[in-house]
Structure 1
Amino acid sequence: MTGDEAYFVVWGMHPALGYYDHPPMVGWWLTALLALGKSAWWLRMPALLLSPFMAWGIMRILRPHTGTLAYLTATLFLISPVSLYNVFITTDTPVIFFIFLSGWAFYEASRSERLRDYMLAGLAVGLGMLSKYFEGLMAVAIASYWALIDRRVKAFLGLMLVAGISSLLFAINLYWNYEHCWDNYLFNLANRTHKGFTFSGPPLYLLTLLYLFTPPLLYGLYSVRGAIWQRAREPLVGGFVVFSGIPLLLFGLLSFKNVIGLHWLLGFYPFVFILFGAVTNWLSHRSSLVFMAIFSALHILLLGTLLSVPVPDLKFIGKNYSMVVLGTQTDRIWKDAEAYAVGRHLATRGYASAAILEYHTGRHFAVFGSGSDHGREDDSLTNFIHWNGQNVLLISTNNLPVSVYAPYFDHVQKRVIDVDGASISLILGNGFRYPVYRRTILTQIRAKYYHFPSWLPVGACPFTQRYFGGIR
């Protein structure tokens, strides 16, 4: 279980209307899954089923227009490397699902003008916005479809229905943010957007697109660019040009400021395959299938080789080796540490290690220290006021000296356990000094992660109210 996955599993263990980093959908899904089990394969089931579902959807969309060629297009998508290795349960899983569903539903609505299709599109957009804000780009694409392709009055009324339903659902997120320091705003738009103009961003973005869609597929689309232009008014061609092109163009503009992560693009990835299937012939499919099969086989060979390497042979990765050991040998580490845990609060220095340990042990692990701009949900789960004067066990993969922890405890001891050549530190802190921790660490966290603009109306901010007696 990776650190990010375990972090979202912790969300599922603590169901809420929202979480610091993102809207709540993946947490809700995991709450439902955890009710029936906690095995990694079970919790990953939505991600495992996602690519087959979208391949089936691609086939269903294309088959009335391209016949049996639709099965080749769906197969091309299904054997792409991303479809094969995108099996991790993260916030991307539900938003990819709802982006695809909203595009599919709005495409059907534009053809049929059925009320239920517009309602389904609105529901999908709203639930997507409760998953991750990338769904907002899909909302822009849907509005652009009406402006560029279909300006009928009925289509406009359908668009308003989509906007109304999705806005009602998104209001849940707005209310939660109003009552929780606008955490999602701070994380997504403030705390990690300090980069200025970058020349490397656009070339990296273009390389990412080339990797995702592969040269044969892109060449196939380029070779029929005239046919795409001629058929741009058709819902199938024009629709999926807009559904894929508008978000990818916006990401391109954003690449001048931020590096665009590959996973950011995955919600709009299937729409390019639909467009490819709609406008290219059997020969283009054949060349793309041959390339994709070889390309994916190389990925399988590489990943299979890496996964078959024994953990002790991975020491060459350096300082990250201890984190690999923590993620793969968690039960062994906890077996050695559990005896020290009696009568102590549990903690680590980072959200990934805390989440991994909580997933495997069922015990809550707090994040001790200022942490990073990612994974700040523990700010709402742990109340350090209640730790005052009490004892703590901190498990760390960083071999930091005792002096780092000494200011926050009356007495500190350090034990080191060796697991597969990795040194895991057990910090035993007696008599936690909350006033010192508040004056240094918590004050630093407030200044760095809870400094929202004065113009933003705030109903409540549990973190600042708990530790500093006021919202701001």
Structure 2
Amino acid sequence: MSQNQDSTALPVTLSRWLLAAGLLSLLLRLWISVSFPVTGDEAFFYWWGVYPDWGYSDHPPMVGWLIALMRATLGDSLWSIRLPIVLLPLALGAALWWALKGADRVRAAWAVLFFWLAPLNWLNTLITTDTPLIFWSVLSVAALMRAERRAQMDRAAWGLYALSGVFLGCAFLSKYFSVVLGFSYLVYFVLYRRERLAGLALLVLCALPGPAINIAYNMSHGWSNIMFNVYNRNEDAHFEWRKPLTYIGMMAYLVTPAALWMAVRYRQSLLAAARSQRLLACLVVVPLLFFALLSAKKVIGLHWVLSFYPFGFAFLAFALPEGKLKACAKGLAVFAGLHVLVVAGLYMTTVDTWRSTKLYPQIIRSYKTAEMLQQVTAPGVVLMGEAYTPASIFGFERRQYMPVFGVGKFHARQDDMLVDFSLYQGKTIRIILADKPRLEEFAPYFASVRVLSFEQNGVPFYALEGTGFNYQAYREGVLGTVFKRYFNIPKWLPMTGCPFCERYCGQVRCPS
């Protein structure tokens, strides 16, 4: 296998494959991005862009900054905030090419093609915290690969190591899974490149502003990211066989049947490539093992592994025998084509097609949001949601932040940062609910309560209307529970501020 053909021209057929895959997948993503309704997570992150900050309740701030940028430059619309994820595969393909062309231009092109043919890159148009994480992670790896190809530790090499660190710091400001990327770097340098540990040290030094910003934010906001990612979301973590089995099945799907078959059939070639492409191998093996261990107690989300996704296809492109690259691409294309056919079939359905399914109420909420709000809105009435998903979707439609009434869950606790419930003292509040509420659950917090019934496209929904909101009762009955459940901040963590605590008890750290 030749892997040093820097001057080799790309075959015409391969160039055409790249053009077709890049253009057709872009057109499909554009179509989905303008036609698919906003999801709960997207609507939640939208408000991070409306209120830019150095951090947010669940995660570091990068996606909020990105959405704020898109709103400021292209306008406040769904297509504009989705544009980064629509263009992301093209940017990642360019980064892979830049990183790998020095090793072998032809195989670098195959790596880009394999990645572009993955079904996820045809369908994913949802803006999430993973969007900037993937972008900065791949840029960091690309800069590191370029640095590693420098024969000497010259100025260019030092600059590339520094650039890789800056990008890693940006990835950290996107999501904490960037730590896994940093750990992969450490494994690579300790095992294979100890003579360049100085380069790793510079990389880490240039990445430190990212964690520094995040630590400063957490100190002034009750360690919200740490409480969510380390404590609150892991209280019930325990081993179940379904968790690692789900992880294995998910990875088999993401890798795609064609690529998985090729990897198994030509496993000796993969082992040989691991010796010649050590950095790529570490970027595949270390995250796979990390998430495999984590899957013993946690259900690994599909999006958790996406910042490492491109490297698996790149490794495969450099590992397979030359004569099997086209066959692998064809298999990937067929699998992607099946997904496109499914999407085309879904777009041929109507809302009524789904009437008999369990998803129908959620579909109506997503496609008939404005109509539902028109029914429940009234002058002088404050609207709230029962959970963050409906509250975010309704708020996005109104372009007005909608709080969640009640204790809520451990995730999406941006209300704790933004909402001062004392401002609603004495007001009339309508809480939009999917199921008929029990009045006794809400009566303690209002002078009077009643249930309002509505219907949209055959789906009943309700509003609990409470007049004369009693903030003091809500503080004791709801906010007190929130404090005990979600703000049990370890005393060893230093704090300079906590918006929720300061409103709740008037102190940075409330007595427990």
> Which TM-score band (shorter chain)?
over 0.9
Residues 266-345 of structure 1: matches in 2 within 5 Å? 266-318=306-358, 320-338=359-377, 340=378, 342-345=379-382
Q: Among 105, 113, 119, which residue is 1:75 paired with?
A: 113
How far apart, in 2, do the equivalents of 1:308 and 1:16 lie? 41
SS in 1 for 2:384: strand
Write the letter of the residue equivalent to 2:278: G
Kindly provide the CA deviation profile for residues 175-194 of structure 1, in whole angstroms up to 9, marking residues without a partner as x: 11111111111111111112
Residues 13-52 of structure 1: matches in 2 within 5 Å? 13-35=50-72, 36-52=74-90
| Match status 1:122 vs 2:165 | yes
CA contact (8 A) 1:311 1:420 kept: no
Query: Runs of 5+ in structure 1 lacking a partner?
Result: none
How far apart, in 2, do the equivalents of 1:328 and 1:219 lie? 40
* Residue 72 (structure 1) shift: 3.2
SS in 2 for 1:196: coil
SS in 1 for 2:455: strand
Q: 1:356 to 1:231 in 2, by over 3 A?
A: closer
Which residue of the partner structure matches residue 206 of structure 1? 248
Count of equivalent residues: 465
Q: 1:408 to 1:321 in 2, by over 3 A?
A: farther
Which residue of the partner structure matches residue 357 of structure 1? 394
Kindly provide the CA deviation profile for residues 344-368 of structure 1, in whole angstroms up to 9, marking residues without a partner as x: 3221111111111121111221110
Which residue of the partner structure matches residue 216 of structure 1? 258
CA contact (8 A) 2:273 2:318 kept: no
* Residue 201 (structure 1) shift: 2.0
Kindly provide the CA deviation profile for residues 208-258 of structure 1, in whole angstroms up to 9, marking residues without a partner as x: 121111243234334554455455454xx1010011211111111111111
| Match status 1:137 vs 2:180 | yes
Which residue of the partner structure matches residue 422 of structure 1? 459
Kindly provide the CA deviation profile for residues 268-293 of structure 1, in whole angstroms up to 9, marking residues without a partner as x: 01001111111223332222222212
Write the letter of the residue equivalent to 2:71: L
CA RMSD for the aligned pairs? 1.8
SS in 1 for 2:84: helix
Q: 423-432 or 88-97: which moved more? A: 423-432
How far apart, in 1, do the equivalents of 2:163 and 2:366 lie? 40
CA contact (8 A) 1:3 1:355 kept: yes
* Residue 375 (structure 1) shift: 1.1
SS in 1 for 2:194: coil
Residues 352-391 of structure 1: matches in 2 within 5 Å? 352-391=389-428
What percent identity do the matched residue pairs reach? Answer: 33
Q: 1:308 to 1:350 in 2, by over 3 A?
A: farther
Q: Among 173, 185, 198, which residue is 2:214 paired with?
A: 173
SS in 2 for 1:347: strand
How far apart, in 2, do the equivalents of 1:167 and 1:62 lie? 27
How far apart, in 2, do the equivalents of 1:81 and 1:52 lie? 14
How far apart, in 2, do the equivalents of 1:81 and 1:458 lie? 45
Q: 1:398 to 1:177 in 2, by over 3 A?
A: same
Write the letter of the residue equivalent to 2:220: E
Q: Among 93, 101, 106, which residue is 2:131 paired with?
A: 93
SS in 2 for 1:352: helix
Write the letter of the residue equivalent to 1:97: F
CA contact (8 A) 1:346 1:364 kept: no
CA contact (8 A) 1:3 1:327 kept: no
CA contact (8 A) 1:240 1:275 kept: yes
Residues 445-456 of structure 1: matches in 2 within 5 Å? 445-456=482-493
How far apart, in 1, do the equivalents of 2:65 and 2:362 lie? 28
Kindly provide the CA deviation profile for residues 319-358 of structure 1, in whole angstroms up to 9, marking residues without a partner as x: x5333212211111222233x1x22322111111111112
Q: Among 186, 190, 199, which residue is 1:147 paired with?
A: 190
Kindly provide the CA deviation profile for residues 80-111 of structure 1, in whole angstroms up to 9, marking residues without a partner as x: 11111221100010101111111111111111
SS in 2 for 1:65: coil
